[in-house]
Amino acid sequence: MTHQTRFDSSKQDIIIVGGGMVGGVLAHTLKLDGWRVTVLEGAPEGASSSFDARLTALSDASWRYFDALGLIDEATARAAQAIEEVRVVDSGHFGMTRITKANNQGVALGQVIGNRAIAAAIERAEKEDCITGNGTVQRLQPARYTHHNVTNDGTGVEVQFEYHGEAHTLEARLLIAADGAYSSVRAAIQKPVEKSEYGQTAIVCTAKPARAHHGTAFECFTRGGPLAVLPAPAGRVSLVWVNRDEDVSELMALEPEAYAKRLDELFRHRLGGFTELTPRQAYPLNLITLQELVDERLVILGNAAHALHPVAGQGFNLCLRDVRDLTAALRADRGEPVDPGDPVRLKRYAQERVDDYRRTIGLTDRLVRGFSLDLPGAGIVRGALLSLSDGIFPFKNRLVRLTRGI
């Protein structure tokens, strides 16, 4: 990707608002297919709100998709930790559902990798320019989208934005909003969304466990919300502890040693305790769903279309399936020229995403609400359900498919 103050102002094929993990992968994928793409990213140059210190769990399907896009080089592979097993447990109660490589034909269930490592992989792929097509990507950063309108003849979209303090207009045949849960594009056209507040906040950090994790990921349900303990490179783990909003201030104020002790007790000493905690970050959690994914010469995808609870780690994997399906919908039919803003293609894309959204969002939402109940005897019921689900093949198969990202 190029970082510059002057830019190609000629008509583009596609403009992407949002250059984070979703927008970055999307731009790279579209370039592979030969499209001329401009990315507008509002964060300062060299930064993005999604390329932070957090780690992301890529499902097996997502990892293979990354590989197919040429994003898995030696450096990326070294920065990842394979998930060999997933255990779903309830804190303080019996019962466990266990998913292993045997449920995935002996292949790792996924990979845990830092968001910054994903950013580096995208950057390296763009610099190497190892594409057979003639597509290009220019990244304008910081560039703040302000509004857009369809051209009078209906063949394009004019996008207005601020770049280095100056107002600019750039025309393209398609605009894609990949600018997150609080999308400025979505807000500008007043697209209605359904928002459900969980009353929970995720506290995120990494740590060094006393015992080796052996590639095992844990989803541990607690009274306040789930605790995810994910295996990370260099023997570390990623800790994502979801709590009720009213409890977060106290937990964030704890000294690292006290916080680690609280986690270890909650986790029932499964890894022998935690040390070397990184600074904690807190992220309020809401379920945001958009009913209309497309408009005239516009597609809204990624977290701009659906922001999920982090339980089961499906958010970014669902975003990648948006990228996969949209780029497939925009590909040429038997070599015929394609208008990327063709309403028939965009409508087909939106219709194809419905089942995946319903299945993934529905299951994660039910997991959160069902396992967050704080009622007398609820823990015993949850433990029994976990034990039963480990032996009920239809239900367990759904969990396996969710974990694998298929």
**Which CATH fold would you assign to the domain 2-56+116-194+287-363?**
FAD/NAD(P)-binding domain (3.50.50)
The CATH number assigned to the domain with range 81-114+198-285+374-404 reads 3.30.9.10
Q: Would you list the domain boundaries of the chain?
A: 2-56+116-194+287-363, 81-114+198-285+374-404
End-to-end CA distance of the chain: 31
* Interval 159-169: pLDDT, tens: 999 998 899 99
Do the beta carbons of residue 298 and residue 184 sit within 8 Å?
Answer: no
Helix or strand holding residue 267 (H, E): none
Q: How many residues does this entry show for the chain?
A: 406
> Which candidate, 62, 107, 114, places its Cα nearest to that of 83?
107
Task: Lowest mean pLDDT of 102-116, 318-332, 356-370, 386-400, name the range.
Answer: 386-400
The structure's pTM equals 0.89
* Interval 18-47: pLDDT, tens: 999 999 999 999 999 999 999 999 988 766
Other CB atoms closer than 10 Å to residue 248's CB: what's the count? 20
Rounded Cα–Cα distance for residues 344 and 330 (Å)? 11
Q: How far is CA 336 from the centre of its chain?
A: 33
Rounded Cα–Cα distance for residues 63 and 399 (Å)? 18
Mean pLDDT of the chain: 88
Output the pLDDT for position 332: 80
Rounded Cα–Cα distance for residues 304 and 177 (Å)? 7
CA atoms within 13 A on the CB side of 130: 10
Rounded Cα–Cα distance for residues 359 and 339 (Å)? 31
Pairing of strands 281-290, 306-307: antiparallel
